[in-house]
Structure 1
């Protein structure tokens, strides 16, 4: 059955990429999540989507300009649904310690070669420390990041993030040794689903927020969907699967 990943935790239901959002997912029965990573100035992996702070915290500056101890004091609930209490930017290690998911997709954005190497090494170190190496896939659209992961964290699964413009996403995923393809849902076709299945590549489509699209993609046979509304997705796909079984 098609699996459900909460996008940035549960971006449409709770402040994105916050501990509150990931705990909310677990409370709603969501067992898989996607998140985004950037480095702090002192080399810690911070869970935040943008390289800049303004959209989610209202603060000026780039993530990389601040130490982790400064970032965790910033309230990251500016861009999402209303939430009653402050939601700090979390360290990745905090999520690994407090949230037990069946699987994580950890996305690394476009960064320099040097930063990619640092992030690959730090992800591998934390994954080993918290015994989650078997339940994470590190994803990126950046070939620099995928190369760094292959060199410095070869035991971790890799995933290619593919936009609509990429002509042969399954082939590119295979070239970089990826076991997962995170594909823009608008680029998902029956042919690509079949090709991914034939190649043994997990096909995860993003960001799917409409119930009718969730059902259509599940019927198409995608392995998982990434959504801002994982609670809706879980009930929608459960209902579809029940209907299909009768």
Structure 2
């Protein structure tokens, strides 16, 4: 019996020792102990053309909890998904959405601007997105520039009701807008659907979200979703004190993701869902490299980066501090050489450099 007890105590000491040497790290262990809802901004728009089915598919592939989309209305009253008021930036066409028919917009290429591998991607309708993803992932619907499209609130409500998505059982649908009057109107039409107010710097009082504003939001919204730069611990706490949730936008780097989580935000709207559901590590950076590979850097360049990261992963497991930093500095040097030689896109370079710099700082 004494031998068994002795072996048990030895095992416990060994386990505790391992835990001290190699602590489990969770980049998103907030002060409240909760993990933020992971919201893919315009789909996984860091790695697929925004507001397309390809981007929404990536959001599911990358394990986001929700994806966000932007709804606007064509000349002939069709609800289509696009961020800008014109088609110029994200398609091969030109002109204002409100001046073009659905068929004119449907013929446009909405993928090539991002990468040629997405050539032929079309502009989807709201109905197509709802049909394709209903029950598979949460959908955050933004009414974009609703002041340009009289009646858009009713049209969006009709699309939801047509699919039985306007009931209290459908908490995976949220409708938001920077136009607070539009959200008030939508709430009156379909009060069973959760709503949110988006908040820009220009909508604050001297750079602050006031208690008066929050009290007003309470009457018709469930979420106060500001630009991330408007938040601090006090503001997050005040939002919660007003019985509202907050999903700030738009996070593209690890430092902001960690900061917001420590403040206790309820969700994070991000171009890169991986920043929310995977901790900072060489394995995470390697996954990002693989997602950029073949589109924003060649397989040869990706392989060179992954060689460094494979070594770093082994050193991380062994807790070899100096070797991790040495090889990550080598990774950054190689990354900068690829950038100087035009072998990697600006987007991929910035994301990988931010993540690598964060990892070095962590160690």
Q: TM-score, normalised by structure 1?
A: 0.88
For residues 40 and 25 of structure 1, the distance between their equivalents in structure 2, rounded to whole angstroms, comes to: 26
More deviation, 229-238/172-181: 229-238
Q: After the TM superposition, which residues 160-199 of structure 1 pair with which residues of structure 2 at under 5 Å, given as runs?
A: 160-165=197-202, 166=204, 167-168=208-209, 171-176=212-217, 177-199=220-242
Structure ranking higher in helix proportion:
2
For residues 201 and 79 of structure 1, the distance between their equivalents in structure 2, rounded to whole angstroms, comes to: 38
Are the counterparts in 1 of residues 173 and 193 from structure 2 also a CA contact under 8 Å? yes
Unaligned segments of structure 1, at least 5 residues:
240-246
1:165-208 Cα offsets, whole Å, 9 max, x none, are 41325643541411011110011110111111222211001101
When the two chains are superposed, the root-mean-square deviation of aligned CA atoms in Å is 2.2
Aligned residues: 237
Instruction: Report the counterpart of residue 108 of structure 1 in structure 2.
Output: 143
Does residue 233 of the first structure (1) align with residue 276 of the second (2)?
A: yes
More deviation, 131-140/165-174: 165-174
Instruction: Report the counterpart of residue 13 of structure 1 in structure 2.
Output: 47
Instruction: Report the counterpart of residue 102 of structure 2 in structure 1.
Output: 68
Q: After the TM superposition, which residues 38-77 of structure 1 pair with which residues of structure 2 at under 5 Å, given as runs?
A: 38-77=72-111
Rate the CA distance shift 1:82–1:11 in 2: closer, same or farther, 3 A. farther
Are the counterparts in 2 of residues 162 and 181 from structure 1 also a CA contact under 8 Å? yes
Instruction: Report the counterpart of residue 243 of structure 1 in structure 2.
Output: none
For residues 58 and 175 of structure 1, the distance between their equivalents in structure 2, rounded to whole angstroms, comes to: 42
Q: After the TM superposition, which residues 82-231 of structure 1 pair with which residues of structure 2 at under 5 Å, given as runs?
A: 82-100=116-134, 101-112=136-147, 115-116=149-150, 118-133=151-166, 134=170, 135-165=172-202, 166=204, 167-168=208-209, 171-176=212-217, 177-231=220-274
For residues 269 and 250 of structure 2, the distance between their equivalents in structure 1, rounded to whole angstroms, comes to: 5
Higher relative contact order (CA 8 A, sep 6+): 1
**How far apart are residue 64 of structure 1 and its match?**
1.4
For residues 94 and 61 of structure 1, the distance between their equivalents in structure 2, rounded to whole angstroms, comes to: 23
- Greater gyration radius: 2
Are the counterparts in 1 of residues 49 and 118 from structure 2 also a CA contact under 8 Å? no
Are the counterparts in 2 of residues 55 and 78 from structure 1 also a CA contact under 8 Å? no
Are the counterparts in 1 of residues 214 and 239 from structure 2 also a CA contact under 8 Å? no
Rate the CA distance shift 1:184–1:87 in 2: closer, same or farther, 3 A. same
For residues 237 and 103 of structure 1, the distance between their equivalents in structure 2, rounded to whole angstroms, comes to: 25
Q: Per the alignment, in what secondary structure is the counterpart of residue 34 of structure 1?
A: strand
For residues 139 and 10 of structure 1, the distance between their equivalents in structure 2, rounded to whole angstroms, comes to: 19
1:202-227 Cα offsets, whole Å, 9 max, x none, are 10011011112111111110001101
**How far apart are residue 147 of structure 1 and its match?**
3.0
Q: TM-score, normalised by structure 2?
A: 0.61
Q: Per the alignment, in what secondary structure is the counterpart of residue 122 of structure 2?
A: coil
